Amino acid sequence: MLRLFALTVAARLAVFLLASFSASFLPSFDSSGGRNPFLRWDAIHFQHIAQAGYVYEHEWAFLSGLPFLMRTLPAPVFQLLSVAMDLGTTHALYHLSLEMLGEKIATLTTLLSLLPSSPATLRLAPYNEPFLTFLSYRGILHCQRKQFLAATVLFTLAGFFRSNSVILAGFILWGMIVAPFLANAPIRLSAMLYVAPIFLPFLAHNAAAYMAFCTPVNRPDWCERVVPSIYSHVQKTYWNVGFLNYFTPEQIPNFLIAAPPILLLYSFCIWHLRRPRSPSPFLSRALTPHVLHALFLTTAVVFSAHVQIMLRFAASMPVVYWAAAWLLIYHPRLGYAWIAWSITWGAISVVLWSTFLPPA
């Protein structure tokens, strides 16, 4: 475990050095973040919310967890917390993989996780990804151990960072209802009590916006909708998020950039669901809720969001690294191609990030 921790720190340092070099010596497309390689893209929004609160309507696309930490904690403490999240993610992924797939695959999986598809947002910038990833992994590990109350707490905390964390509730429903049903064991309807709090951060975020904007004097159009969600409103209005909205010729490069993790996830998930049960650890029924979660999230991103954010979302799902390990074991040539792509794209993406170039 200590070696994995050391490699995690080394990977983080490599990203920092490459980003710092790029920000110092390469021209930046946008000067908003200056020479600080940490402040690019959404990090600028998070910083403004941390300093001034939600001033502009479009800022309500960002949940309050990260700005709260940035506002509350001194910068060195925040950086130490980010490092702790990184190390905690490594620890959680290794032990989750160890319990589900065995020691050799757990080690391989954790090593592969050192090559994420968006290293800048996971290991460099003040972004939601390190917090969401740690809380997701740790909560899933508690689900695997049937410690559902602890999982509820962690998944609820994840809800303060990203809206898609609400679907993590599916792991609790699977562990308390679906898995017992499939095993002809008693199901626990109390699962609903464990699941309900996970939705509270997202609901509270929208409720706060409703009280701020939907006054008797001034009521924007979204206030009159059946579900008056400012989050849905700003995503559609400012980011053009919606079903098939991204399916345009101009977005072909983004689909190509995001293709590797999408194809990997679809290939592994379909293989897992279509193959009969066998001694292969990758066909264990314990992986099925992870497969279903990945299929749902990946499909939602491909058809209803900015497809390039899959590069960021992938890290929050342990199944992406299990799929990479499966590829390396069962299809070595493709597995080595995945590693080559991860290293190459990881380095390129850090340079692009540091020079304020897409994808973000």
Mapping DSSP to helix (H, G, I), strand (E, B) and coil, where does residue 360 land? coil
Two structure tokens written together for 214? 């939907």
* Mean pLDDT by groups of 10 residues along the chain of 360 residues: 93 94 84 74 93 94 96 94 95 96 96 95 92 97 97 98 96 96 92 97 96 89 92 94 94 96 97 85 94 97 96 95 97 96 96 87
Two structure tokens written together for 265? 């996830």
**Cα–Cα distance between 360 and 357 in angstroms, integer?**
7
The predicted structure's pLDDT at residue 11: 95
Provide the Cα torsion 319, 325, 330, 333; round to 10°.
120
> Do 132 and 118 meet the contact criterion of CB atoms below 8 Å apart?
no
**Cα–Cα distance between 186 and 36 in angstroms, integer?**
55
The predicted structure's pLDDT at residue 232: 94
The predicted structure's pLDDT at residue 218: 84
DSSP 253-307: HHHHHHHHHHHHHHHHHHHHHHSPP-S-GGG-GGGHHHHHHHHHHHHHHHHHS-G
Non-local CB neighbours of 236 within 8 Å, separated by 6+ positions: 242
Cα radius of gyration (the chain) = 20
Per-residue CA distances from 60 to 64, 207, 238, 334 (Å): 9, 11, 11, 41
Two structure tokens written together for 41? 């893209």
Q: Is the pTM of this model over 0.85?
A: yes
The predicted structure's pLDDT at residue 35: 67
> Do 288 and 306 meet the contact criterion of CB atoms below 8 Å apart?
no
The predicted structure's pLDDT at residue 28: 79
Two structure tokens written together for 274? 């279509």
The predicted structure's pLDDT at residue 33: 64
